[in-house]
């Protein structure tokens, strides 16, 4: 099977990249070991996060570091046996999270975040997926007066980014979301983001659009990728696929391709979980709720109320550990009345993260025709379409809408 471009990985980033390359005239084959949208793209909180203009940084305050060191928190948990392996990467992350590094990451990511909603709109409308996307934003909920006051200060400090939000007092908060625990004293309603009630379904809808427009999706093993006689080849269930170009959009699995080729890109995994719950009689979750103190999100999904956890640092292949989920479950039940679990076991996802809080988007420096688009951390769903557009512009010689230098793979060499 011959084509212009092989796209390896059919998550939201890969599917979006394939669509943008297709729209610019490339004959594309999209390859994954499973059906589209079943990896990390399936299990997130469903936020197209236009309001996240400041990347998630490593905590720098001593009080925060001491609190996490006890490993009893709900938002971040770590495996003791994994720490020696993760230590060097965490040190890099800590260094980049200083004032200068965080400011640089914020500047680099802003052009992508600013366009995240409009780029989704360009795909969701022709894909017929608008029924999965809501425009009511999401809400931070607070039961601590101190935390609520600080959140209002932090929101006001983002004035230069012209974000739209409303501060909700106790009465407004409970009117906006009936059924909340009486201890909830207020919240911040972020209005610019859109939310998705089935992230995996949205990705599959985009993949269907790619196929309807003449693209080809095949089941195959990205780790068989090799360069031979100036071409890129990969094995699929339909035989060998051969192309002039290959794009690595494998998210947490990208290391399996770039490391054998000699690239030392510090890609790490932040694990996370989700579980679906029934609603208690008479209770209905109106839009996603974030408990910033507890570090979890409750989101209305087609499969029930989805609770997504924060970060777990553990080996990628370690078995499921319910400690963090149970901690979040207990906190969440004190915010909103959750019913019974609807899944037999928690879903485990792996977020692909880089220490400077920016993805890798662009050419592989030492291999002609090889391109990268991975490392989107907590915002793969948010950034998939806009990063697919940026890479397609670079690959087809169009003027990129923003300077791609901050995302270059060469920054690690």
CB 154 within 8 Å of CB 163: no
For 76, 86, 158, 180, 274, the CA distances from 79, given in Å and listed in that order, are 11, 10, 35, 33, 18
pLDDT at 43: 87
Q: 103: which 2 tokens?
A: 């400011």
Rounded to whole angstroms, the Cα distance separating 338 from 321 reads 21
pLDDT along the chain (413 residues), means of 10: 97 98 98 92 93 95 90 94 95 96 98 98 98 97 97 98 98 96 97 98 98 98 95 97 98 96 97 95 93 96 97 96 96 94 96 98 97 97 98 98 98 88
> Mind spelling out the 3-state secondary structure of 150-183?
HHHHHHHCCHHHCCCEEEECHHHHHHHCCCCCCC
The predicted structure's pLDDT at residue 190:
98
Residue partners of 226: CB distance under 8 A and separation at least 6:
232, 233, 234
Note the residue count of the chain: 413
The first and second tokens of residue 334, run together, are: 């004190």
Q: Domains of the chain, with CATH numbers? A: 2-43+200-265+356-412 (3.50.50.60)
**pLDDT reported for residue 42:** 87
Contacts of 282 (CB under 8 A, 6+ apart): 179
pLDDT for 72 equals 94
Q: How far apart are CA 281 and CA 178, in angstroms?
A: 12
- Evaluate whether 39 touches 226 at the Cβ level (below 8 Å): no
């Amino acid at each position: 099977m011959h084509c212009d471009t092989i796209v390896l990985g059919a998550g939201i980033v890969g599917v979006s990249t394939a669509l943008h390359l297709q729209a610019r005239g490339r004959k594309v084959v999209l390859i994954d070991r499973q059906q589209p949208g079943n990896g990390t793209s399936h299990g997130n909180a469903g936020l197209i996060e236009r309001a996240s203009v400041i990347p998630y940084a490593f905590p720098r305050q001593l009080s925060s570091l001491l609190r996490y060191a006890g490993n009893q928190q709900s938002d971040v948990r770590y495996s003791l046996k994994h720490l020696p392996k993760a230590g060097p990467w965490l040190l890099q992350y800590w260094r980049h999270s200083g004032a200068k590094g965080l400011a640089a990451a914020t500047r680099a990511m802003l052009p992508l975040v600013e366009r995240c909603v409009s780029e989704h709109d360009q795909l969701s409308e022709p894909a017929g997926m608008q029924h999965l996307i809501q425009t009511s934003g999401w809400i931070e909920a607070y039961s601590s007066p101190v935390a609520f006051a600080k959140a209002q200060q932090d929101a006001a400090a983002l004035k230069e980014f012209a974000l739209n939000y409303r501060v909700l007092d106790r009465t407004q908060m409970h009117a906006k979301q009936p059924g909340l625990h009486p201890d909830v004293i207020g919240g911040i309603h972020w209005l610019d983001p859109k939310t998705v009630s089935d992230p995996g379904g949205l990705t599959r809808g985009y993949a269907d659009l790619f196929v309807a427009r003449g693209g080809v999706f095949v089941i195959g093993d990205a780790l068989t990728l090799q360069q031979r006689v100036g071409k890129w080849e990969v094995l699929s269930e339909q035989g060998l696929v051969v192309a002039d170009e290959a794009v690595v959009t494998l998210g947490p699995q990208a290391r399996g391709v770039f490391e054998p080729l000699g690239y030392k890109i510090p890609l790490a995994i932040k694990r996370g979980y989700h579980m679906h719950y029934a609603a208690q009689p008479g209770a209905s979750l109106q839009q996603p709720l974030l408990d910033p103190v507890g570090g979890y999100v409750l989101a209305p999904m087609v499969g029930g109320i989805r609770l997504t956890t924060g970060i777990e640092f553990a080996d990628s292949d370690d078995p499921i550990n319910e400690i963090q989920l149970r901690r979040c479950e207990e906190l969440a039940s004190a915010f909103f009345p959750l019913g019974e679990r609807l899944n037999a076991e928690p879903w485990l996802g792996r977020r692909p993260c880089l220490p400077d809080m920016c993805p890798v988007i662009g050419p592989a420096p030492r291999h002609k025709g090889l391109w990268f688009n991975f490392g989107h951390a907590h915002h793969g769903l948010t950034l998939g379409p806009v990063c697919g557009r940026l890479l397609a512009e670079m690959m087809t010689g169009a003027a990129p809408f923003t300077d791609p230098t901050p995302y270059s793979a060469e920054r690690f060499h």
